[in-house]
Structure 1
Amino acid sequence: MYFLGIDLGTSSVKIILMSDSGSVVSSVSKEYPVYYPEPGWAEQNPEDWWNATKNGINELISKSGVKSGDIKGIGLSGQMHGLVLLDRDNNVITPAILWCDQRTQEECDYIIEKIGKEGLLKYTGNKALTGFTAPKILWVRKHLKDVYSRIAHILLPKDYIRFKLTGDYATEVSDASGTLLFDVSNRRWSKDMIDAFDIPENALPKCYESTDVTGYVTKEAADLTGLEEGTIVVGGGGDQASGAVGTGTVKSGIVSVALGTSGVVFASQDKYAADEELRLHSFCHANGKWHVMGVMLSAASCLKWWVDNVNNYSNEAMTFDGLLGEAEKAQPGSDGLVFLPYLMGERTPYSDPYAKGSFVGLSITHNRGHMTRSILEGVAFGLRDSLELIKDLNIPVNEVRVSGGGAKSKLWRQILADIFNVRIDMINATEGPSFGAAIMASVGYGLYKDVDEACSKLIKVTDSVYPIQENVEKYNKLYPVYVSLYSKLKGTFEEIAKLS
């Protein structure tokens, strides 16, 4: 038997076919465009998502040779926080507003002014950020009155695919946690937030746990995709929760670090606990528990910027491996050179769109190897910011599982181990959120009793890097210097923003 995992990303949908033994037998990816109609806006056409998904499923079934009747369940993952609006006839009535859209700062300010930080902490456990869903709804009400009057159903991106597959209006707890309309502690829609901002409650979808069956593939969807009519579709999860399932980050003590374009530090919690300063996100996890996570906006993208934008203008183009080889020759601490990884502003622990990337401490003795190494260290320090907040919530950190493009560098993994002072693990699973979605489908079908059991059987550690005590001591002295720099430069960052 087989299980389908669908991850609806920002630039493409990735679909995998997982066997009951946990091996990925086939996968496919289909791209679609993002539209930027105004500065700071980001939109997509939900029909593009569906066309890519149905075509991808057809292709996957065809090239795998697997019979559709042997696919026993489907799990969904996807980009969080987006807003999809349908009318009574199920027509999409405005382009989907994405997680990275920045148009809603006034709405966020209004939310904070009306209920305050204490209200947000009590009702949702999260800060009002421009990426979240509730401010988008308020923006539509203010600026698109005709569209707002026609709203019959409010969905998140992956849940539009669910609707197209099953005809059901449904979501699940991990993705709903990122709407700012969800009572994360009690795993249900927040009546307080809905009433405070007069959101049409009857337009919100029914909310399930991530492994619950939310519907079944309809005949129409089966004809379009090649799937079997009646195949179960489970709740699934937001991309971060699904990715955590895909790395086995489902037990207290295991922390995952996604070292991709952005950086995410994710920790599972057995009991709900939110950061009182709202610097961390507090969401429901896909395994019936909770999780916290910190997000830095520029992680591996800092190294990509250094390679592509700075070091590839000569006749001898530099590669990642070439630059990392130079960095390996530099001593830990880069001889006092510190890099601040704020190339796109920052989110955790500083919600600051004006923060700028910086090299601090340059001297005549520094070379390119020092600068490359300081970038790796600066990103690791930025990730440690989130790790320290997680520790402040008394969440144990016994091992860190790292994934993403940056994790391919053993040097970067060693730097993480030394700066975190904890073992850094690589695992056998590399498909991320789509793999987590397929695991949830297998649990919903009944192959495993729960997500934790499935992860323990399917996901194994393949390589580990341990802290080097001498390096740990050096980095523990340098980290307070790194932390102090933001507060010292914050005003300067704002002045630079005004000038530019």
Structure 2
Amino acid sequence: MRYLMGLDNGGTFSKAAIFREDGVQIASKSAAVSLFTPAPGFRERDLEELWQANAAVMRGALDESGISPQDIAAVSFSGHGKGLYLVDKEGKPLGRGILSTDSRADDIVSRWEKDGVAEKSRRYTCQPISACQPTALLAWLKENEPDLYARIGHVFSVNDYIRYRLTGEAYSEYTIASGGGFVDFQKKGYNEELLSLYGLPEMQDCLPPLKYSAEAAGSITAESARLTGLAPGTLVAAGMFDIDACGIASGLATPDDLCLIAGTWSINEYIADAPVDGEPTTRNSFFCEPGKFLVEESSPTSAGNLEWFIRTQLAEECQRAKAEGKSIYDLTNQWVAETEPDKNDVIYLPFLNGSSTENHASGVFFGLSASTTKAEVVAAVYEGVVFSHRRHVERLLLHRSRPQKVRLSGGAANSPVWTQIFADALQLPVESIAGKELGALGAAMAAGVAAGIYPDLSTAANQVVSTAAFVQPRKQMQSIYEKKYQLYCRLEDNLCSIWHR
């Protein structure tokens, strides 16, 4: 029996999971990575701590599995897109890693929108510019930290950085690089004209060669083997953007499919045979299957809002739940299940890290009164996250047919109550996917293709993907959620001018 390891690096945790060839998970480990916020809008992590966390979860997963390191056929990666991870000209970590929720480059993006750079770049990249993309972050560093900028050796994503530490070889790959604004869709590669448009021509030599997701991209070195427990020489595949990994691990295979990922980001996506000239907020990137494109509507507005509320407002409830051997999520799910949507007037806008249309948007609770309970506020958070997803879905549906169902993954998919709200608010059946580590599973599928276990990712998906639940929308809830959703949209639209100022 051969096994596959997938690494998944999101905005908070680093995870490693080991899977059998049939997709059954046999071990997993995760570790939190510290977040630094040295200034408003900054979201950073220490690069050495990140590497040590990855090494620790790899070793931990191997120990838990009880298998020999030699039984791991290959390793690959799923990671958040955008953000920025740098090494210097000697290959040493340079500064801190920057996360995809960072907004320090807002003013640069505003300037690019005014002077036409954003419009011109979209002709190459088929997507809008955002402040968390590496292009905007590099421009910010060039203006604000020129000494650090001059020392850049390689421009990496989080996947690229961890892969580099494991193999000593510098590569990037198409899904994340195209989502980061570096790839000319016509040339299917880097373009000096595009970099010059951003004011970054000197970065041409700092962008690593591009690989496809399931291509071999090195092997485990003796030094990284010592730290991770993996066998030296173990094959390493390039890996992919976590939205691709969760998509392919959810069975996203044809243009008819529509996949929603409710994690830190609200990701709403489908695959197409060609880039789509959609709404101003619509993004295209290369899909993990060569020749396909991922059409995406997204914003940092999803289940991370619940994590924020729990962390900042439910400390006492967390302690009580822990003492009783329960999960805080059991409590929040119970609260929401017991709250009647038509009697709860609280509306929540989940814009703690901005929205897709306004970088300066902020989170808002509307409709609070002296009688409002914590349960009603938590229910509003659940609903607000769903409404943000719905708004993205409606933009996608302007340019494609309505699906028969949607597939849901991410943290919210673990909650039957939340899944039901998705079905009711969208008035579509919702299929949730079995398994909690879909990002790691998507990465393991890429590793399996590179190792020759599967001929391609579509075949891998057919062999390993299984569904956990199928939830039908309740017709009687349609008018209730429609009314609340329309108020949500009016609030967002009316506040945009205030946020912009």
- The DSSP-based 3-state class of the residue aligned with 1:233 is strand
Aligned to 1:444: 450
Query: Is residue 481 of structure 1 aligned with residue 487 of structure 2?
Result: yes
Superposed, which structure 2 residues align to 1:25-44 within 5 Å?
25-44=26-45
Superposed, which structure 2 residues align to 1:241-320 within 5 Å?
241-277=244-280, 279-288=281-290, 289-303=292-306, 320=329
Query: Deviations 1:12-52 (Å, cap 9, x if unpaired)?
Result: 32111111121111112233323233332232232222222
Distance 1:314 1:38, change over 3 A: closer
Query: Deviations 1:142-197 (Å, cap 9, x if unpaired)?
Result: 23323333333222222112112222110111111232222246542244312322
Report the Cα offset of residue 258 of structure 1: 2.4
Contact 1:8–1:49 under 8 Å retained in 2: no
Contact 2:358–2:496 under 8 Å retained in 1: no
1:408 to 414, 418, 424: 414
Query: Is residue 103 of structure 1 aligned with residue 101 of structure 2?
Result: no
User: Which range moves more in the overlay, 312-321 or 126-135?
Assistant: 312-321
Superposed, which structure 2 residues align to 1:427-438 within 5 Å?
427-438=433-444
1:337 to 326, 334, 345: 345
Q: What amino acid is aligned across from residue 290 of structure 1 in structure 2? A: F
Q: Percent identity?
A: 24
Mapped partners of 1:259, 1:81: distance in 2: 17
User: Which range moves more in the overlay, 209-218 or 62-71?
Assistant: 62-71
Q: What amino acid is aligned across from residue 287 of structure 2 in structure 1? A: H
Mapped partners of 1:187, 1:347: distance in 2: 29
Query: Is residue 353 of structure 1 aligned with residue 360 of structure 2?
Result: yes
- The DSSP-based 3-state class of the residue aligned with 1:28 is strand
Q: Please, which runs of 5 or more residues in structure 1 have no aligned partner?
A: 496-500
2:470 to 458, 464, 474: 464
Contact 1:84–1:160 under 8 Å retained in 2: yes
Distance 1:85 1:365, change over 3 A: closer
Report the Cα offset of residue 371 of structure 1: 5.2
Q: What amino acid is aligned across from residue 158 of structure 1 in structure 2? A: N
Superposed, which structure 2 residues align to 1:231-250 within 5 Å?
231-250=234-253
- The DSSP-based 3-state class of the residue aligned with 1:154 is strand
Q: What amino acid is aligned across from residue 282 of structure 1 in structure 2? A: N
Superposed, which structure 2 residues align to 1:174-189 within 5 Å?
174-184=175-185, 187-189=188-190
Query: Deviations 1:200-252 (Å, cap 9, x if unpaired)?
Result: 21211011111111222233333443323322211111222222222222332
Contact 1:252–1:268 under 8 Å retained in 2: yes
Distance 1:111 1:369, change over 3 A: closer
Mapped partners of 1:317, 1:55: distance in 2: 30
- The DSSP-based 3-state class of the residue aligned with 1:249 is coil
Report the Cα offset of residue 389 of structure 1: 0.8
Mapped partners of 1:302, 1:57: distance in 2: 29
Contact 2:348–2:383 under 8 Å retained in 1: no
- The DSSP-based 3-state class of the residue aligned with 2:103 is coil
Contact 2:14–2:54 under 8 Å retained in 1: yes
- The DSSP-based 3-state class of the residue aligned with 2:485 is helix
Mapped partners of 1:366, 1:217: distance in 2: 55
Query: Deviations 1:97-130 (Å, cap 9, x if unpaired)?
Result: 3322222223323433444443132111222211
Report the Cα offset of residue 75 of structure 1: 0.7
2:230 to 223, 227, 230: 227
Contact 2:125–2:185 under 8 Å retained in 1: yes
Mapped partners of 1:210, 1:48: distance in 2: 26
Query: Is residue 16 of structure 1 aligned with residue 17 of structure 2?
Result: yes
Report the Cα offset of residue 302 of structure 1: 4.2
Mapped partners of 1:202, 1:380: distance in 2: 42
Aligned to 1:136: 137
Report the Cα offset of residue 134 of structure 1: 0.8
Mapped partners of 1:2, 1:182: distance in 2: 33
Report the Cα offset of residue 369 of structure 1: 6.1
Superposed, which structure 2 residues align to 1:13-162 within 5 Å?
13-162=14-163
- CA RMSD of the aligned region, Å? 3.0
Q: Please, which runs of 5 or more residues in structure 2 have no aligned partner?
A: 322-327
Contact 1:46–1:157 under 8 Å retained in 2: no
Q: What amino acid is aligned across from residue 391 of structure 1 in structure 2? A: L
Distance 1:147 1:307, change over 3 A: closer
Report the Cα offset of residue 468 of structure 1: 2.1
Q: What amino acid is aligned across from residue 153 of structure 1 in structure 2? A: H
Distance 1:330 1:235, change over 3 A: same
Report the Cα offset of residue 5 of structure 1: 0.6
Distance 1:44 1:468, change over 3 A: closer
Q: What amino acid is aligned across from residue 77 of structure 1 in structure 2? A: S
Q: What amino acid is aligned across from residue 432 of structure 1 in structure 2? A: L
Superposed, which structure 2 residues align to 1:161-200 within 5 Å?
161-184=162-185, 187-196=188-197, 197=199, 198-200=201-203
Aligned to 1:498: none
Report the Cα offset of residue 474 of structure 1: 4.2
Mapped partners of 1:283, 1:88: distance in 2: 29
Mapped partners of 2:149, 2:352: distance in 1: 32
Report the Cα offset of residue 458 of structure 1: 0.6
